[in-house]
């Protein structure tokens, strides 16, 4: 099969896949076909449909990460404990064969054990973290992966040693869509000044549930125009992430649109940042894991 393989990020809402030849991306596809859209027991046939001609004339290896390995996914793959290395990810991964004969495997997520602290979990972002490490040749770093559930992670000596989840994206969405704060808002405009005002508000020593109400009152008092309320709220929520985590250089891993916002907020806190594309990190991480897995399997032959 000439070294072709497929990398897949299969999440709750979205499906994204890359057809690879070694390190090179040959083709890419995405679909709004996350786990929520797959009927129970239909993962194999759904995947075949999604991959189409990529698997018509062959059965390339398939490497998957994300919520596809969760309780609601194809197979539930146990979380790796911290600290997590690529080795432990591979050891805990789930291997199986698809109905059309592709060898497939699912990267496990990572779990932060409670031991007095609040437990936490991630699925998918661990691959991006290892990808970032490889692409930039760094083994000790802090990174933020913005999104529905923003992740703050720390890598030491090539191992993920700590991380925390902030429900920033989801909070923003439910507040704008379902709360008083979003009621009767016109279409949002980009307003960096409103965004930074939100960031500044996040630094007040007050509860978020209190600060949120300012998105209402500043609109009522005419200090923030209705079309900028969305950016004010975004600044408030993103700023919150930096209030208790604001030391040293931090990598921002994601789309340009999101990392730019985080960079603006980080600057306001005097935090140094570097941005990197999330997809590049994901592909690099999967490529490395896939290669290690192949080497392991060859070693076992």
Give the residues lining the site for a copy of itself (CB under 8 A).
114, 118-121, 149, 164-168, 170-171, 174-175, 177-180, 201, 204-214, 217-218, 220-221, 223, 237, 240-241, 243-244
CB of 18 to a copy of itself, least distance (A): 27
Helix (H) / strand (E) containing 45: helix 43-51
Q: What is the C-alpha separation between 45 and 59, in angstroms, rounded?
A: 14
84, β-bridge pairs: 160
Q: What is the C-alpha separation between 117 and 2, in angstroms, rounded?
A: 47
Place of tokens 């999101």: 258
**Of residues 199, 279, 286, 208, the one with CA closest to residue 14:** 279
Q: How many helices (H) and strands (E) does the chain have?
A: 10, 14
Q: Closer CB to a copy of itself, residue 94 or residue 152?
A: 152
Q: What is the C-alpha separation between 6 and 21, in angstroms, rounded?
A: 9
CB of 5 to a copy of itself, least distance (A): 31
Q: Closer CB to a copy of itself, residue 51 or residue 110?
A: 110
Q: Closer CB to a copy of itself, residue 238 or residue 264?
A: 238
CB of 220 to a copy of itself, least distance (A): 7
CB of 118 to a copy of itself, least distance (A): 4
Q: What is the C-alpha separation between 54 and 71, in angstroms, rounded?
A: 27
Q: Closer CB to a copy of itself, residue 94 or residue 197?
A: 197
Q: Closer CB to a copy of itself, residue 268 or residue 289?
A: 268
CB of 291 to a copy of itself, least distance (A): 31
CB of 121 to a copy of itself, least distance (A): 6
Q: What is the C-alpha separation between 165 and 162, in angstroms, rounded?
A: 11
Is-contact 16 22, C-beta < 8 A? no
Q: Closer CB to a copy of itself, residue 4 or residue 170?
A: 170
């Amino acid at each position: 099969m000439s070294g072709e393989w497929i990398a897949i990020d299969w999440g709750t809402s979205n499906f994204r896949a890359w057809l690879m030849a070694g390190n090179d991306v040959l083709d890419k596809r995405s679909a709004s076909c996350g786990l929520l859209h797959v009927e129970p027991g239909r993962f194999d046939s759904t995947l075949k449909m999604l991959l189409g001609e990529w698997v018509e004339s062959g059965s390339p290896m398939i490497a998957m990460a994300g919520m596809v390995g969760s309780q609601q996914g194809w197979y539930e793959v146990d979380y790796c404990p911290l600290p997590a290395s690529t080795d432990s990810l591979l050891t805990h991964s789930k291997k199986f064969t698809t109905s059309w004969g592709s060898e497939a495997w699912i990267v496990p997520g990572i779990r932060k054990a409670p031991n007095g602290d609040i437990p936490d979990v991630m699925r998918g972002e661990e691959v991006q973290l290892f990808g970032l490490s490889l692409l930039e040749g760094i083994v000790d770093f802090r990174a933020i992966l913005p999104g529905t559930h923003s992740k703050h992670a720390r890598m030491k000596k090539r191992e993920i040693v700590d991380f925390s989840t902030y429900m920033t994206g989801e909070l923003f969405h439910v507040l704008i869509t379902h709360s008083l704060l979003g009621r009767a808002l016109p279409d949002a405009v980009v307003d960096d000044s409103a965004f930074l005002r939100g960031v500044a508000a996040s630094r007040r020593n007050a509860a978020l549930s209190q600060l949120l109400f300012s998105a209402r009152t500043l609109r009522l008092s005419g200090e923030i125009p209705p079309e900028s309320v969305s950016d004010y709220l975004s600044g408030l929520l993103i700023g919150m992430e930096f209030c208790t985590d604001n030391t040293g250089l931090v990598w921002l891993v994601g789309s340009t649109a999101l990392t730019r916002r985080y960079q603006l907020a980080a600057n306001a806190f005097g935090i140094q940042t570097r941005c990197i594309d999330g997809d590049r990190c994901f592909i690099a991480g999967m490529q490395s894991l896939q290669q290690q897995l192949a080497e392991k399997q060859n070693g076992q032959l």
